[in-house]
Amino acid sequence: MILSVSRRTDIPAFYSDWFFNRLKEGFLYVRNPMYPEKVSKISLEKEVIDCIVFWTKNAKPMLNRLVELDGYNYYFQYTINAYGPEIEPVAGRMTDESIEAFQTISKQIGLSRVIWRYDPIFFNEIYTKDFHIKTFREIAGKLKGYTTKVIISFLDLYGQTERNMPTVETFQEDKFRELVKELVAIAYENGMCVESCAEKIDLSREGVEHSCCIDKNLIEKTVGYPLIGGKDKGQRAECGCMESIDIGLYNTCKNQCKYCYANYGIDEVARHSKKYNIDSALLCDEVRPGDVITERKMKSLRRKR
């Protein structure tokens, strides 16, 4: 199986102690977001986990503990953006720290296993095309030699995102293409290719191919064997990710990014975060009366020759 850690929250930045504790215990629980009384028991045994995909904006809390991942295959989807604290209240103040952590992890595990995400991209009066070009160039220069790939996407205006960011310009294809062309040139100068994430628009003429976060091809190269498993049916049509199990919990990410689809509001995050307990099998939660715990059947996706 592929373990997603996590689309729903930044576990490396805020809950890595819990995660490493669960690795020691050998299992964790995940509550079904649609049917909260249903809880799955997920095995963390190395024999059934083909790869772990970490999603983060700051992996510094994990730096001194990567040895605890020995025996697991893994890589990082690592977001570093141009935005200030009015858009990214936490990450916007920690860009230099995040870049240093990115560089350190790359040195430890290899530049092909740390993927830079510059997303989501949007335009407004402050974050213009020229601003993105300038800041992308600065970040790319600092990450030169530490990654081979940068993934981009344009902002999707989910309900709460649109409410939080009323000044965002509507998507303009020509303007986006002009920016992408510049980003591709900058990335190339710094030894990187540019790929897109869950975009309907075809950017191949700008030098960008469609990509995905849970990338079957990358995972096969990382683990060294072919995999079975298809597209993740729980994701939108444009998403090319292969099937995985996400262990995160919505309304727990303390980055508080205005464009986030996984948080409903600061109060909800605060309420859930108070329940954080590194000894609990559930992230920011406890088993409740009436919960139905079912052990999920786990197996490796390794293709038998």
Which of 99, 206, 207 has the alpha carbon at shortest distance from 147? 99
> What's this model's pTM, rounded to 2 decimal places?
0.95
The mean pLDDT value for 198-223 works out to: 92
Is the predicted pLDDT of residue 93 greater than 90, yes or no? no
- Buried-exposed string 207-229: b where 16+ CB fall within 10 A, e elsewhere: bbebbbbbbbebbbebbeeebeb
Per-residue pLDDT of 117-162, as tens digits, reads 999 999 999 999 999 999 999 999 999 999 999 999 999 776 677 7
Q: Residue 285, class by beta-carbon neighbours within 10 Å (0-12 exposed, 13-18 middle, 19+ buried)?
A: buried
Note the pLDDT of residue 305. 65
Note the pLDDT of residue 162. 73
The mean pLDDT value for 1-11 works out to: 96
Q: Where are the domains of the chain?
A: 2-292
The mean pLDDT value for 38-46 works out to: 98
Note the pLDDT of residue 159. 66
Beta-ladder partners of 292: 38
What is the overall mean pLDDT for the chain? 94
The mean pLDDT value for 80-97 works out to: 91
Note the pLDDT of residue 215. 92
Q: Residue 185, class by beta-carbon neighbours within 10 Å (0-12 exposed, 13-18 middle, 19+ buried)?
A: middle
Is the predicted pLDDT of residue 165 greater than 70, yes or no? yes
Alpha helices in the chain (DSSP H): 11-14, 16-25, 95-109, 129-143, 159-164, 173-189, 216-223, 266-273
Q: Is 196 helix (H, G, I), strand (E, B) or coil?
A: strand
Per-residue pLDDT of 233-274, as tens digits, reads 878 777 889 999 999 999 999 999 999 888 888 899 999 999
Percent of the chain exceeding pLDDT 70 equals: 99
Gap between the Cα atoms of 225 and 213, Å rounded: 19
